[in-house]
Amino acid sequence: MKPSSDHFPTETAGLPTAQPVESFQLDPGGHFDLRIAPVAKRLGNAMVRMLAYNGSIPGPTLRVRQGSELVVNVVNDGDLEGTVHWHGLRLENRYDGTAETQRPMPVGGRFTYRLTFRDPGVYWYHPHIREDYAQEMGLYGNIVVVPSEPDYWPAVNRELTVTLDDILVEDGRIAPFSPSHPTYTAMGRFGNVLLVNGEPELAFVARHGEVVRLYLTNTANTRIFNVGLRGARMKLVGGDSGHYEHEAFVDGVLIAPSERVVLDVLFDQTGQLTLEHRTPNRSYALATITVRDELAQPSLASQFGSLRTLSDMAAERARLSTYLEAEPEKTLALVAEMDLAEPQLPPGAPVVYACPMHPEVSSQQPDRCPKCGMKLVPAQPVGDAVPNEHAHSHSGPENDEPTGEDVRHAIGIEWEDDMVEMNRMTTPANMRWKLIDRGTGAEGMSIDWRFRVGDRVKIRLVNEMDSDHPMPHPFHVHGAGRFLILCRDGVVESNLVWKDTVLVSTGQTVDILLDVTNPGLWMAHCHIAEHHESGMMFSFRVDP
Residues that bind Cu ion (CB under 5 A): 473, 526, 528, 531
- Rounded to a whole number of angstroms, the minimum distance from the CB of residue 531 to Cu ion is 3
Is residue 143 a contact partner of residue 120, using CB atoms and an 8 Å limit?
no
Q: For Cu ion, which is the closer residue by CB, 352 or 503?
A: 503
Closest to 544 (Cα-Cα) out of 462, 472, 460, 452? 452
Q: Look at residue 385 and give its three-state secondary structure.
A: coil
Q: For Cu ion, which is the closer residue by CB, 30 or 444?
A: 444
- Rounded to a whole number of angstroms, the minimum distance from the CB of residue 416 to Cu ion is 16
- Rounded to a whole number of angstroms, the minimum distance from the CB of residue 527 to Cu ion is 7
Beta bridge partners, 432, equal 337
Q: For Cu ion, which is the closer residue by CB, 39 or 220?
A: 220
Q: For Cu ion, which is the closer residue by CB, 220 or 526?
A: 526
Q: For Cu ion, which is the closer residue by CB, 235 or 473?
A: 473
- Rounded to a whole number of angstroms, the minimum distance from the CB of residue 287 to Cu ion is 28
Q: For Cu ion, which is the closer residue by CB, 49 or 531?
A: 531
> How remote is the C-alpha of 147 from its chain's centroid?
24
- Rounded to a whole number of angstroms, the minimum distance from the CB of residue 525 to Cu ion is 8
Closest to 173 (Cα-Cα) out of 199, 197, 193? 193
- Rounded to a whole number of angstroms, the minimum distance from the CB of residue 540 to Cu ion is 18
HSE-up (13 A, CA, CB side) for residue 98? 21
- Rounded to a whole number of angstroms, the minimum distance from the CB of residue 179 to Cu ion is 23
> How remote is the C-alpha of 458 from its chain's centroid?
22
Q: For Cu ion, which is the closer residue by CB, 263 or 435?
A: 435
Strands (E), 256-328: 260-266, 271-278, 283-295
CA distance readout (Å), 419 to 22, 257, 373, 453: 38, 20, 14, 45
Q: For Cu ion, which is the closer residue by CB, 434 or 473?
A: 473
Phi, psi of 410 (to 5 degrees): -75, -30
Q: Look at residue 131 and give its three-state secondary structure.
A: helix
- Rounded to a whole number of angstroms, the minimum distance from the CB of residue 471 to Cu ion is 7
Q: How many angstroms separate the CA atoms of 53 and 60, rounded?
A: 7
Closest to 52 (Cα-Cα) out of 151, 137, 176? 137
Q: For Cu ion, which is the closer residue by CB, 379 or 526?
A: 526
DSSP secondary structure string, 390-429?
A: TPPP--SGGGSS--HHHHHHH-----S-S-HHHHHT--TT
Q: How many angstroms separate the CA atoms of 39 and 13, rounded?
A: 10
- Rounded to a whole number of angstroms, the minimum distance from the CB of residue 61 to Cu ion is 28
